[in-house]
Each structure stands twice: as C-alpha cells, then as structure tokens.
Structure 1
Amino acid sequence: MNILLDISYDGTNFCGFQVQKNGVSVCETLQNALEALFGARPDVKGCGRTDAGVHALHYALNFWADTSIPVEKLPLALNRHLPDAVRVNAAHRVPEEFHARYSAHTKTYVYRIWNSPVESPFEAAYHHRISAPLDAEAMDKAAAKFVGTHDFLSLCSAGSSVAAKGDTVRTITACKVERQGPLVTITVTADGYLYNMVRILAGTLAEAGRGALEPDAVPAILAGRDRSLAGPTLPAKGLFLKQVDYPAEALGL
C-alpha cells in the first residue's frame, strides 16, 4: 500500500532531506528506520528538497510497503528506530497515484529572525539573529508585494537547474511578517519555490526592516530578474518547512 508520513526534524546535523554523498541526510536516516522495521528498504518520495541545516515542522513523504502493521501504529514503531532529531507524527494510507511532491497544492515556510543584540541561550540553532532594530511593519508591507504570480529569478541562487531551464515563475498566495517580542517571523505560502528562494526573500525583507530598501522597490526587484538586486541569502538554520497542503481528492478523502 501507498503510505503518507508526516514527519518533523531538526536539520542542524543533516545535509538536507535528499540522500547525498557528502553527509547524512534525513531521507537516509528514515530509510534506515523503514528497513529495520520492514526488512526491506523502500524508495521514498519526499515533498521537496530542503538544504543542509533547514528544519521541518511538518514534512510529507510517501513510500510503498507490504506490511501487516496497522498504519496508525507506524509512527510509534518507526520512532523506535529513529534518532531524537527525527520524529514521525502521523501515517495515512493514500491512493496509489499519490506522490508527496507532485500531489502537493502549496507549501508553507517560516523564517525566524531573533532581533536583539543579545542571543537567546535556548534557541540559537533555530533562528538567525540580527542585532540592528528591524521595522516589522515595513517588512510586512514589502512582503505583501511578493504576493501573486511572478518571475522569481531575482530570488534564486546561482546553480539552479530549474532556473537554467527558464522555469522561474511561481505563485505566492500569502506572505506575512509578524513580531512577538524580539522574534520576527516571516511566513510564506506558495505553489513552489526556487533554490534558496525563501532565504533570499527573508534577506530582502530584512533589508526593508532596517531601512535599506523601500517596500515599494519589490516589484522592480522582481522585474529586473537579477539576483544582485535582492537582499542577502540568510542562514539555513532560521528556516522551517511549516506545512504541506494537499487537495482532499489527492488524499482519497
């Protein structure tokens, strides 16, 4: 049967989700647990790549397995074989044609900025600290300018194979900035993302927050289709995949 897993992971010590030769990946770690449980190593279909150091609150993946273990008991069974940095939250049987990446409707990411001259001793691995004061209202105004269907080449790092093919148009359906004390949170929902797109978007919004960029400059940045026009790429440790949304019919509901 085709099984969908919802997992969370701390990406600090992983080279990303996708299996790579240069380090331990989340996918490899999960496949090790699946093999320990099932006696076979299933092929895993993830909802997308995440870079080294990026975290996930709810990452979606699917795989095929022939097992007598009730699906609802898989999370506890798999978690016994996983390190503390990776947890399976839920498991569901899905239709044969379901694919965690291609069936997804939207994905939501969160970028966390700790806006204080003093670092937090508790969450330093889960945010990027900017000591200079940030105007969250200006950042939110700039964020609104990214909403819509645009060519996001200016928010794509060099080396993207997708960008090389000219496939750089995406639709952002929501982009908000909120402050709670020293924590500034950027939340963006889109139908897809380019390489480092959210981290560059966050860096561009941070420029608006410190007054180096006018919110109304965002349309020109997008129209310019030039990476040098946007802000810096902020570190991976502040980025979290928050959720993946699927149409009800894709889940067989």
Structure 2
Amino acid sequence: MGSLFLTSELRELAAATPEFHARFSAKSKVYHYKIYNDSIVNPFQCHYVYHSSYKLNTAAMREPARLFIGKHDFSAFVNVSHNDRVPDPVKTTYRFDVIELLGPSMQLEVEGSGFLYRQQVALLLQIGKQAIPADIVPKILATRDRRELAKYALSAPPHRLCLVSVKYNEEHLRLPSECPTTSFGKYHTISKCTFPFY
C-alpha cells in the first residue's frame, strides 16, 4: 500500500449561465491523432503516438481526409460492440488536415461537431499505406453500414487521440448579470491530492 501525489493546475474559475453544459454547449472540438512513421518508434513517444512501420503516403491521405468534411451520416463508422452511446450518427466535420511534422512524425488534425468511436483514422492509415484506393471513402459513407468499413480497416488505438480545444456556444459563456465581470483569477494550484493504491 502507498499513496500517490498528484499536482493539477486550475487555470481559471468563472461563473456561467444555467444553460451551460461542458459537453452539450460545445459547438466543435479539435482533436489531434499523432503518428510516428518509421521502422523503429522513439521509446520516449511510444505511449503517445501510433507507430506505423509502413511508410505512409501523406499526399494520398489528404484528399480522402477532405472527403469527410461537411455534414455526413457516419453510421458506417459506429462501433457495434460499444454502440457509441450516440443517438444521432449525423455529424459535421469542419476541417480534417494531414500534417507532416519534424522527422518521421505526422498528425491528423480534425475539427467537428462530434465524433464516433475510432472514426476515420484506421481507414486513412490504410489509404496512406496505399492498401486501398482513396475513392473508397464516399462509398463507405454511402452504405451507412459498419460491416462495409470492416472489410477495409480495423479500429485504430484510441489512446493516441488528444483533445486539443473545445469551442463553446458564446451565448452559454456570457456571465449572468449579477456576477462580477472578471473571473476569480488564473493559475491557482492544487498542490496536494493523495489517495491509496495497491
């Protein structure tokens, strides 16, 4: 038995309208999915990136990524075992960029109104490996059938995905009239948090 010491940082605390909801007031979310594209993965990054030992063709991935932009029914990307807990598979993707970083790293950056479990990454990886053609994307979307996607791609590991930012409905961010116009400050630090672990 022991204890774990955690430090977290509270950036800002401010009042919000009663209508504000951390999840449902979000207009869009930006996610990054990082990929390390080399025969041997950097050991300092192995828990934070998807390792592709196959050389990915980033140019081949860009056009199919753009095909996800717009309002689509993503029923073909629903994970049956998780059932996604999403009542509406219709989502809007505002942008989907394939970005080459320094060295053998790359990043998929997507902004949308919402996402389904392990949505499009696995399919783009297969296209990047040039195992399947880019024009498969609209065909799979049109089927609205998860079994069609399963013919071409397995799920991508979710722990390489990182939520970068959330854009909220501005109406829900307005302070109630009886509240102070400023927040309670920034950079308050909670320095102690211990709990037992085994």
TM-score bin, normalised by smaller chain: 0.7 to 0.9
Equivalent residue for 1:123, pick from 45, 58, 68 = 45
Equivalent residue for 1:174, pick from 82, 87, 95 = 95
Assess if the C-alpha contact under 8 Å between 2:31 and 2:110 holds in 1. Answer: yes
Letter in 2 for 1:252: R
- Report the secondary structure of 2:30's partner residue: strand
Which sections of structure 2, spanning at least 5 residues, go unmatched? 176-198
Letter in 2 for 1:160: N
User: Is residue 2:68 matched to residue 1:146?
Assistant: yes
Q: State the partner residue of 1:160.
A: 83
C-alpha deviation, 1:130, in angstroms: 0.5
Q: Distance in 1 between matches of 2:5 and 2:60?
A: 42
- Report the secondary structure of 1:146's partner residue: coil
Q: Distance in 1 between matches of 2:11 and 2:5?
A: 12
User: Is residue 2:146 matched to residue 1:224?
Assistant: no
Taking structure 2 as the reference length, the TM-score comes to 0.77
C-alpha deviation, 1:250, in angstroms: 1.5
User: Is residue 2:55 matched to residue 1:133?
Assistant: yes
Q: Distance in 2 between matches of 1:124 and 1:88?
A: 28
Q: Distance in 2 between matches of 1:92 and 1:117?
A: 48
Larger Rg: 2
Q: Distance in 2 between matches of 1:152 and 1:222?
A: 6
Assess if the C-alpha contact under 8 Å between 1:200 and 1:232 holds in 2. Answer: no
C-alpha deviation, 1:249, in angstroms: 1.9
Equivalent residue for 1:186, pick from 99, 104, 108 = 108
Residue pairs, 1:3-22, within 5 angstroms:
none
What do residues 5-50 of structure 1 show as CA deviations (whole Å, max 9, x unaligned)? xxxxxxxxxxxxxxxxxxxxxxxxxxxxxxxxxxxxxxxxxxxxxx
Return closer, same or farther for 1:184/1:190 CA change in 2, 3 Å cut-off.
Answer: same
C-alpha deviation, 1:82, in angstroms: 7.3
Equivalent residue for 1:111, pick from 24, 28, 33 = 33
Letter in 1 for 2:93: I
Q: State the partner residue of 1:101.
A: 23
Q: Distance in 1 between matches of 2:75 and 2:18?
A: 35
Instruction: Flag the structure with higher strand content.
Output: 2
C-alpha deviation, 1:245, in angstroms: 0.3
C-alpha deviation, 1:101, in angstroms: 1.1
Taking structure 1 as the reference length, the TM-score comes to 0.61
- Report the secondary structure of 2:135's partner residue: helix
Q: Distance in 1 between matches of 2:78 and 2:10?
A: 31
Q: State the partner residue of 1:83.
A: 6
Q: Distance in 2 between matches of 1:103 and 1:211?
A: 39
Matched residues, number: 167
C-alpha deviation, 1:92, in angstroms: 2.6
Q: Distance in 2 between matches of 1:212 and 1:89?
A: 45
What do residues 176-200 of structure 1 show as CA deviations (whole Å, max 9, x unaligned)? 1111121110111111122x1xx33
